[in-house]
A and B are shown apart, each in its own frame.
Chain A
Amino acid sequence: MFIDEPTEDEDDIDPFEALNVSTTAPAARGASLLDAFAEDDVEDESSEEEGEVIATLEMGGMMEMNEEIVESVIPLSEAGVNEEEEDIDPFEELGAMRPNVNAVESTNTNVNDALAAFMDEDEYQGPENTIVFEGESATKDEPIEQEEVEEEIQVETEKPRAQPEELYQFLLEGVWVDDVLDPAEVALMARKRRELGISFETHLKILKQILHD
């Protein structure tokens, strides 16, 4: 007789039941499992909604919630925390002056005023705030500027240009820098005399001024 040979008593026992294993087909069981997952998602969505609501609460609310939670866990009276202790002013306890809220507000208003003043300065005030000199009127700014520009142009045009004789004298002084006169320099000066319209007599006069005087 072999060891593995089944007996009649053993055939009556359902091995699935004995092992607590489902006997349904995996496909059918998968569908039911999917349905179960779907139900879990619905539950998660509801919990997410709750989280969003909590997140929109203010910090105080959160703190109250926490206190409620704490109180639900440990009553405040038992924890040694009174409502009076919550009202204790830490500044009074430390003997320090409480910051004057009104003063801060006033300084803020002063700062605001100063900034406002700057803002006022930056703003264009119009011709009323322009400096008006004697004999001038603030209303005719543009004509004055035009006149000034015209005067500047006129001054520039009227600037004393170097006279031909002065220019020639300058050149003539340069000719003698090396103390020796050569034909090339003389030719240059002759050409300059023609260009500047200087006569030979004037040339001699300038030369005498440079060298002889």
Chain B
Amino acid sequence: MSILFQHALDLAWSDGRLSKRGAILLENFQEILELSDSQRSVVEEKHHLQVIPHLIPRGHGSGASTLDQWMTSLMDLDDELPRYLISMGRQSLETGISKQAWIEGFTAAERMKCEFEFARGVWEPEFEVEILVWPEVLDPVAKSLGLLLEEE
């Protein structure tokens, strides 16, 4: 399951409603992440079952703007993204990375085409890694790696 697309759904439904713009952004993000319809449906079904029933509608889909901003920030990382993912991989190893955390982090990095860098941060101890403070846009990845508590 892609933690990135799950985060995008959370943002799009943040005020309890999904706008048309939010739905279009999700379609675009699916293409960016190169998710298949079946892969997306797995993520979306889980979200519909576990998250949406607990949402209290308090707007008209304003989450689309938040989603757009987050997507733009993520795309803007560009060349910085591999460095951050390497650093996050190394930090997760030092704190003790679980199997599930590895799978989710690696899959997310794979969606961002940085899986090799992330893996080097975890599996190559001789590879010198600069420890960086990751940007807020990568918080979903940090949460999946156990570097950030859910509440934070």
* Complex CA distance for A207 and B102, rounded to whole angstroms: 10
Query: Is A27 an interface residue when CB atoms closer than 8 A count as contact?
Result: no
Q: Decide if B124 touches A204 in the complex (CB within 8 Å).
A: no
Closest B residue to A188 by CB, please name it. Answer: B125
Q: Decide if B122 touches A187 in the complex (CB within 8 Å).
A: no
Which B residues lie within 8 Å of A181 (CB)? 93, 96-99, 102, 122
* Complex CA distance for A137 and B116, rounded to whole angstroms: 64
Query: Is A212 an interface residue when CB atoms closer than 8 A count as contact?
Result: yes
Q: Decide if B94 touches A200 in the complex (CB within 8 Å).
A: no
Which A residues lie within 8 Å of B96 (CB)? 180-182
Categorize the interface residue count of chain B.
10 to 19
Q: Count of A residues near B, CB < 8 Å?
A: 16
Interface of A, helix, strand, loop or mixed by DSSP: helix
* Complex CA distance for A211 and B110, rounded to whole angstroms: 14
* Complex CA distance for A190 and B126, rounded to whole angstroms: 9
Which B residues lie within 8 Å of A182 (CB)? 93, 96
Q: Decide if B125 touches A180 in the complex (CB within 8 Å).
A: no
Which A residues lie within 8 Å of B3 (CB)? none
Give which listed residue, B94, B102, B107, B120, contacts A183 with CB less than 8 A.
B94
Which B residues lie within 8 Å of A179 (CB)? 98-99
Closest B residue to A208 by CB, please name it. Answer: B106
Closest A residue to B119 by CB, please name it. Answer: A204
Which A residues lie within 8 Å of B126 (CB)? 190
Q: Which residue, of A181, A200, A211, A212, has the highest number of chain B Cβ atoms within 10 A?
A: A181
Task: Encode B109-152 as 1/0 by CB contact (under 8 A) with A.
Answer: 00000011001101111100000000000000000000000000
Q: Decide if A187 touches B125 in the complex (CB within 8 Å).
A: yes
* Complex CA distance for A204 and B125, rounded to whole angstroms: 15
Query: Is A176 an interface residue when CB atoms closer than 8 A count as contact?
Result: yes
Q: Closest approach, in angstroms, between the C-beta of B6 and any C-beta of chain A?
A: 17
Query: Is B103 an interface residue when CB atoms closer than 8 A count as contact?
Result: yes
Do A211 and B103 contact each other (CB < 8 Å), given the known contacts A180-B96, A181-B93? yes
Q: Which chain A residues (189-213) contact chain B, with CB distance < 8 Å?
A: 189-190, 200, 203-204, 207, 211-212
Q: Decide if B120 touches A200 in the complex (CB within 8 Å).
A: yes
Query: Is A186 an interface residue when CB atoms closer than 8 A count as contact?
Result: yes
